[in-house]
């Protein structure tokens, strides 16, 4: 454990800023979550645990929601596929559809957008594997993708000089436990306690590491209580010293589960967990070791010492939800502003795409990605390879929100709105000497006026329409 704590977040992960998350699997065939669901935080805050699980906005949770009596998913499934159509009957449909998939098209798109890394869901809660594992599911025959999706995508991503990471759900597999998660108690006790399951998870992780050489281990929900995640981490770091591991590896063993049977303890933990979910954390607990935090569908409010990575879909779901209205999706401007804010506070953005069963990325998701990429084509210098400044944000006297980043000997001041006048004013700047200011995308020095700690910048008349404007100040103010 001591050696694990000595592991430092590598420079490449600090520099990367943008990754693409991919949720693709059997759940992509029905591609359904109720359109009545809200984002996960509002779902839990306003409806409570039971209402949330019955009306889950995450389409990748289709199997669990299907098993809840009276859920919208169960009703949809029965009306669309019939009473005798089991979830595993989606396997041949997915395997037929995925033959149309072209991994190079995905990788080209992600590279064009500016992503530095990709994280693929290799196995979600439904237990379906996207690689030809030597450790098949003990309860479902041929419960596996027909193509080596993990291997094909990894090759395409690495060929384009992006890093590859793997998501794998740790404590659950709904083929091992067919009882649905319906409330907080079943949420924390759903995972098997047996050594057999821990070995199954361990074998999959080692196989993924050895066969495909990832740079990121992205665990979710936790790890089997009798498993040894520290041994796994050490093995990974020994093979790939510049690898990174996220924070979702907590374990809840038999004794903890026994304590949760007592109502006062269960009520307190349920309340704490609900508060953590509403704030965007997957858990209010943290494992003994991690490289970065992973708030979900939210961002942190200030610069943090710990590296972090916001993860979210462009809409309310990770897996593709054909029922999701356009109003649920971020606009390009909202996406750009969120990304800038994250980077200014020492975070990365892991932005999810949810492909259809045939591997095509829905047009609305593609449009948002390309919109972000278009902005980065001009302003990427203010984002990539930067670090937070001494403060993350301001509001100018003209009422324009500002975010700051820095790199080498330059300060990037990013305006989240276009000034109505011809100039913008920055206050509380300490200057040792006269600075130069350029507008990214123009490169011509702008006219400036320095008075004490106030800097007034005259902007060009012909600034194009853009979600945000980036100014480069050099040398770096104090």
* Over residues 163-183, mean pLDDT: 96
Ramachandran angles phi, psi of 474, nearest 5°: -145, 145
* Residue 222 pLDDT: 92
Do the Cβ atoms of 112 and 373 come closer than 8 Å?
yes
- 199: pLDDT strictly greater than 80: yes
* Residue 281 pLDDT: 56
Please tell me the CATH code under which domain 2-382 is placed: 3.20.20.80
Q: Is the dihedral of CA 78, 82, 85, 90 positive or negative?
A: negative
* Residue 2 pLDDT: 63
Do the Cβ atoms of 337 and 383 come closer than 8 Å?
no
pTM to 2 decimal places: 0.96
The phi-psi region of residue 46 (left if phi > 0; otherwise alpha if psi is between -120 and 50; otherwise beta) is alpha
Q: Which of 298, 296, 297, 272 is nearest to 285 (CA)?
A: 272
* Residue 321 pLDDT: 98
Q: Which of 403, 335, 318, 413 is nearest to 371 (CA)?
A: 335
- 414: pLDDT strictly greater than 80: yes
| CA atoms within 13 Å, Cβ hemisphere of 75 | 7
* Residue 278 pLDDT: 65
- Give the lowest-confidence range in 366-375, 395-404, 429-438: 429-438
DSSP state at residue 205: H
> Cα dist. 102→60, 95, 96, 156, 250 in Å?
22, 14, 14, 10, 36
Do the Cβ atoms of 315 and 321 come closer than 8 Å?
yes
Task: Quote the CA–CA distance of 13 and 349 in Å, as a whole number.
Answer: 11
- 72: pLDDT strictly greater than 80: yes
Q: Which of 200, 181, 210 is nearest to 63 (CA)?
A: 181
Domain range list for the chain: 2-382, 393-474
Cis peptide leading into 157, omega within 30 of 0?
A: no
- 265: pLDDT strictly greater than 80: no
Q: Which two tokens stand for residue 333?
A: 């401007």
DSSP state at residue 462: T
Do the Cβ atoms of 303 and 390 come closer than 8 Å?
no
Give the domain 393-474 fold. Immunoglobulin-like (2.60.40)
pLDDT in tens, 14-37: 999 999 999 999 999 999 999 988
Residue 398's pLDDT band, with cuts at 50, 70 and 90, is very high
- 419: pLDDT strictly greater than 60: yes
* Residue 124 pLDDT: 98
Which of the pair, 273 or 251, is modelled with greater confidence?
251
* Residue 309 pLDDT: 97
- 284: pLDDT strictly greater than 60: no
- 462: pLDDT strictly greater than 90: no
The count of other CB atoms within 10 Å of the CB of residue 338 is 18
Residue 277's pLDDT band, with cuts at 50, 70 and 90, is low
Strand spans (E) along 293-435? 308-313, 347-353, 393-395, 401-407, 410-415, 423-426
Task: Quote the CA–CA distance of 215 and 118 in Å, as a whole number.
Answer: 10
Buried b (16+ CB within 10 A) or exposed e, 143-172: bbbebbbbebbbbbbbeeebbbbbbbbbbb
- 235: pLDDT strictly greater than 80: yes
Domains 2-382 and 393-474 share a fold: no
- 280: pLDDT strictly greater than 70: no
pLDDT in tens, 387-397: 999 999 999 99
């Amino acid at each position: 454990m001591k050696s694990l704590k000595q592991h430092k977040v590598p420079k490449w992960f600090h520099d990367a800023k943008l990754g693409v998350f991919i949720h693709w699997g059997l759940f992509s065939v029905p591609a359904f979550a109720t359109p009545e669901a809200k984002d996960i935080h509002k779902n839990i805050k306003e409806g409570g645990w039971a209402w949330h699980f019955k009306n889950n906005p995450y389409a990748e949770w289709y199997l669990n929601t299907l098993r809840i009596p009276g859920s919208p998913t169960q009703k949809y499934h029965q009306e669309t596929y019939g009473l005798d159509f089991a979830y595993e009957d989606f396997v041949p449909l997915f395997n037929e559809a995925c033959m149309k998939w072209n991994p190079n098209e995905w990788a080209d798109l992600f590279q064009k957008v500016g992503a530095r890394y990709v994280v693929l869901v290799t196995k979600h809660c439904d237990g379906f594997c996207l690689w030809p594992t030597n450790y098949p599911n003990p309860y479902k025959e041929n419960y596996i993708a027909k193509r080596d999706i993990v291997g094909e995508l990894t090759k395409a991503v690495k060929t384009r000089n992006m890093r590859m990471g793997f998501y794998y759900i740790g404590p659950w597999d709904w083929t091992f436990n067919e009882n649905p998660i319906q409330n907080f108690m079943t949420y924390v006790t759903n995972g098997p306690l047996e050594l057999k399951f821990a070995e199954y998870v361990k074998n999959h992780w080692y196989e993924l590491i050895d066969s495909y050489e990832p740079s990121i281990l992205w665990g979710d929900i936790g790890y089997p209580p009798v498993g040894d995640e520290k041994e796994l981490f050490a093995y990974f770091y020994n093979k790939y010293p510049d690898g990174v591991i996220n924070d979702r590896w907590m374990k809840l063993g038999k004794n903890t589960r026994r304590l949760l049977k007592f109502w006062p303890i269960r009520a307190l933990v349920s309340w704490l967990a609900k508060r953590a979910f509403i704030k965007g954390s997957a858990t209010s607990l943290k494992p003994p070791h991690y490289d970065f935090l992973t708030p979900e569908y939210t961002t942190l409010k200030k610069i943090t010492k710990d590296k972090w990575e916001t993860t979210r879909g462009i809409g309310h779901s990770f897996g593709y939800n054909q029922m999701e209205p356009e109003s649920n999706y971020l606009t390009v401007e909202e996406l750009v502003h969120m990304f800038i804010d994250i980077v200014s506070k020492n975070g990365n953005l892991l932005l999810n795409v949810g492909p259809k069963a045939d591997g095509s990325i829905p047009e609305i998701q593609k449009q948002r990605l390309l919109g972000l990429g278009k902005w980065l084509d001009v302003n990427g210098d203010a984002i990539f390879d930067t670090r937070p400044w001494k403060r993350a944000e301001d509001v100018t006297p003209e009422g324009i929100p500002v975010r700051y980043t820095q790199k080498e000997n330059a300060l990037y001041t990013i305006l989240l709105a276009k000034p109505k006048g011809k100039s913008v004013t920055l206050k509380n700047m300490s200057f040792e000497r006269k600075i130069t200011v350029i507008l990214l995308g123009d490169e011509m020095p702008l006219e400036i006026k320095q008075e004490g700690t106030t800097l007034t910048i005259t902007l060009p008349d012909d600034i194009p329409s853009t979600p945000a404007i980036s100014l480069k100040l050099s040398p770096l103010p104090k």
